[in-house]
Chains A and B, each alone.
Chain A
Amino acid sequence: MRRFMFASSMSIILSSTLLLASSQSEEIAQLKKDVEALKVRDKEMKQSFEGNSKAGFWLAGYAAVDFSSVENGDSSFSGTKFAPIFHAQYGDIFQFEGEVEFTVNKDGSTDIELEYAAGTLFLNDYMGLQMGKFMSPLGQFVQNIHPSWINKLPSAPLGFGHDGAAPTSNLGIALRGGLPKIADTRSNYVVFISNAPSFGVADDGDVVIEAVGNTGSGSAYIAGGRYAVNPIGNMEVGVSLATGDITEELLSGDSIVRDYDVFGADMVLNIDALNLRAEYIQQKIGENELSLLEGGTWKTWYAQAAYQFSSVNLEPVIRYSDYHNPEVNKNQWALGVNYLFASNLIVKIAYEINKDEDDSVIDSSANNNRFLAQLAYGF
């Protein structure tokens, strides 16, 4: 009897197991079919969204949130920036890109600025014809380093912000691209013609050069360019020049033009995880006897070193910058540490040691040191 019961139990267990195994293998087969069907549907959906057409667009950009604590001054969340960049292209023949920058003011209002909006027609492998408002190609910082997720410190070097010594944008036409290798050395170039910048007194009383790509330059233009070589792969040395006119509106409402010249030199070198960067740029304004404003030279330079410890995602940074114009002589040391959650998601903290060399700055806080923190994301 016991044997019978044991045999019966075993046969029930065995048949149940066989049935279960058979059912599971059917389910696995069905799941495999479902996964394959989903893959096909996923591919079809992607093609329906993106297609294989030559025309299309893509939204990229960057965003940042800043905190600052000023010696003898305020501590606050000092700004937030959202800068979407719209890219549209037709194959590899034409691309348009435009960046709009949204920033929050102290009173909570929002500033909106069209940083650039330009189309580039790729004429051949070595020439792109760019038209519109484009970031100034003179030097490196303004054009390539200013986005928050790229700049290794929360602030720009002295004189490399708006109305500083470095031109920020141009409205005109440029021819640019990479050149064929010469003796195994790569090089690239930009030549441009654009509307002239303007010169005058800003709302805060400072005499400023507004090299920001405007449409009100009358018939005044500037021409210039940058040529850069890569003597070794991870190094670039560039020289920038521009010349032409700058416009000024007199108190009488009449417009005059003055001579305007720009010279710049820049260098970057990567040695393993060490990034070394330096740049000098100056804008020179000629005299005009009809104007009450004196001309002169607005010049600035900076040198920066950063090292990435990839094992701990930390990157210490040190930068010195020095800015001079006819009214201001300032310098600054900035020391910072970045933590990289990802290559494009970075938390930065920094301490700036600011020095007004002759206490000439209208803003009395120019000597105050600052602690800065920033969360930056490039997308």
Chain B
Amino acid sequence: MNIVTKIALGALTLLFIGTSPVSAQEETTDLANGAQLWADTCMRCHNARPPSDLTMRAWSFSMNHMRVRAGLTGEETRDILAFIRASKTENDKQ
């Protein structure tokens, strides 16, 4: 239990040091970074699914899932979503 307690305390310390309100995060996105991450990160585990496969709303769920599974930062997740949105045709964006 000692090591467990130490790790728990370390994690909690990190948590309090690193926590900032979500609403304070910047909403700017980087399309080029999103495209690069899309190419690099998705293909490491699976075939990349084209943006037209899912609606933007479904992509927002999918990207939150991948944020956890692939260890993406919030900013990287938003960049990839912005790239997907930009890649979809006008009729396909709903």
Selected from A124, A129, A187, A193, the residue in CB contact (under 8 A) with B7 is A193
User: A-facing mask of B32-48, CB < 8 A → 1, else 0?
Assistant: 00001101100111111
Selected from A97, A175, A223, A275, the residue in CB contact (under 8 A) with B15 is A175
A280 contacts the other chain (Cβ, under 8 Å)? no
Q: Which of A144-152, A203-211, A288-296 contacts B (4 or more CB under 8 A)?
A: A144-152
What are the residues of chain B within 8 A of A268 when measuring CB–CB? 44-45
What are the residues of chain A within 8 A of B19 when measuring CB–CB? 123-124, 127
Q: Is the interface of B mostly helix, strand, loop or mixed?
A: helix
Asked whether A343 and B47 contact (CB < 8 A) given A87-B64, A124-B18, A130-B68, the answer is: yes
A325 contacts the other chain (Cβ, under 8 Å)? no
CB distance from A125 to the nearest CB of B (A): 4
Asked whether A87 and B7 contact (CB < 8 A) given A46-B94, A127-B19, A188-B72, the answer is: no
Is the pair A89, B69 in contact by a Cβ cutoff of 8 Å? no
What are the residues of chain A within 8 A of B62 when measuring CB–CB? 58, 60, 87
B86 contacts the other chain (Cβ, under 8 Å)? no
CB distance from A349 to the nearest CB of B (A): 18
Is the pair B71, A92 in contact by a Cβ cutoff of 8 Å? no
What are the residues of chain A within 8 A of B43 when measuring CB–CB? 234, 270, 275
Is the pair A144, B45 in contact by a Cβ cutoff of 8 Å? yes
Q: In the bound complex, what is the Cα–Cα distance between A191 and B12 (angstroms)?
A: 11
Is the pair B47, A89 in contact by a Cβ cutoff of 8 Å? no
Is the pair A340, B47 in contact by a Cβ cutoff of 8 Å? yes
Q: Which of A158-166, A176-184, A358-366 contacts B (4 or more CB under 8 A)?
A: A176-184
Is the pair A145, B15 in contact by a Cβ cutoff of 8 Å? no
Is the pair B7, A178 in contact by a Cβ cutoff of 8 Å? no
Selected from B64, B74, B76, B77, the residue in CB contact (under 8 A) with A89 is B64
Q: In the bound complex, what is the Cα–Cα distance between A143 and B66 (angstroms)?
A: 11
CB distance from B62 to the nearest CB of A (A): 7
Is the pair A343, B49 in contact by a Cβ cutoff of 8 Å? yes
Is the pair A125, B4 in contact by a Cβ cutoff of 8 Å? no
A50 contacts the other chain (Cβ, under 8 Å)? yes
What are the residues of chain A within 8 A of B88 when measuring CB–CB? none
Q: Is the interface of A mostly helix, strand, loop or mixed?
A: strand
The total of Cβ contacts below 8 Å across the A-B interface reads 142
Is the pair A228, B3 in contact by a Cβ cutoff of 8 Å? no
Among B57-84, those with CB < 8 Å from A are: 57-58, 60-62, 64-65, 67-77
Is the pair A95, B68 in contact by a Cβ cutoff of 8 Å? yes
What are the residues of chain B within 8 A of A191 when measuring CB–CB? 7, 10-11
Q: In the bound complex, what is the Cα–Cα distance between A340 and B50 (angstroms)?
A: 14
A189 contacts the other chain (Cβ, under 8 Å)? yes
Among A107-131, those with CB < 8 Å from B are: 120, 122-130
What are the residues of chain B within 8 A of A56 when measuring CB–CB? 57, 61
B89 contacts the other chain (Cβ, under 8 Å)? no
Selected from A46, A144, A228, the residue in CB contact (under 8 A) with B69 is A144
A190 contacts the other chain (Cβ, under 8 Å)? yes
What are the residues of chain A within 8 A of B11 when measuring CB–CB? 175, 191, 193
What are the residues of chain B within 8 A of A33 when measuring CB–CB? none
Most buried by B among A89, A127, A144, A234: A127
Is the pair A124, B69 in contact by a Cβ cutoff of 8 Å? no
Is the pair A126, B18 in contact by a Cβ cutoff of 8 Å? yes
CB distance from B73 to the nearest CB of A (A): 4
A243 contacts the other chain (Cβ, under 8 Å)? yes
Q: In the bound complex, what is the Cα–Cα distance between A125 and B74 (angstroms)?
A: 4
A233 contacts the other chain (Cβ, under 8 Å)? yes
Is the pair A234, B40 in contact by a Cβ cutoff of 8 Å? yes
A344 contacts the other chain (Cβ, under 8 Å)? yes
CB distance from B42 to the nearest CB of A (A): 10
Residue ranges of B at the interface with A (Cβ–Cβ < 8 Å):
1, 3-4, 7-8, 10-11, 14-15, 18-20, 22, 25, 36-37, 39-40, 43-50, 53, 55, 57-58, 60-62, 64-65, 67-77, 94
- Could you show 9 A-B contacts with beta carbons less than 8 Å apart? A89-B61, A92-B74, A95-B65, A120-B68, A123-B22, A126-B18, A128-B67, A150-B46, A178-B73
Which 3 residue pairs spanning A and B have beta carbons closest together? A188-B71, A125-B74, A343-B47
Known: A89-B61, A124-B25, A140-B45. 13 other contacts (CB 8 A): A57-B61, A92-B74, A97-B65, A122-B22, A123-B18, A125-B73, A127-B15, A128-B67, A128-B68, A145-B45, A150-B46, A343-B48, A344-B53
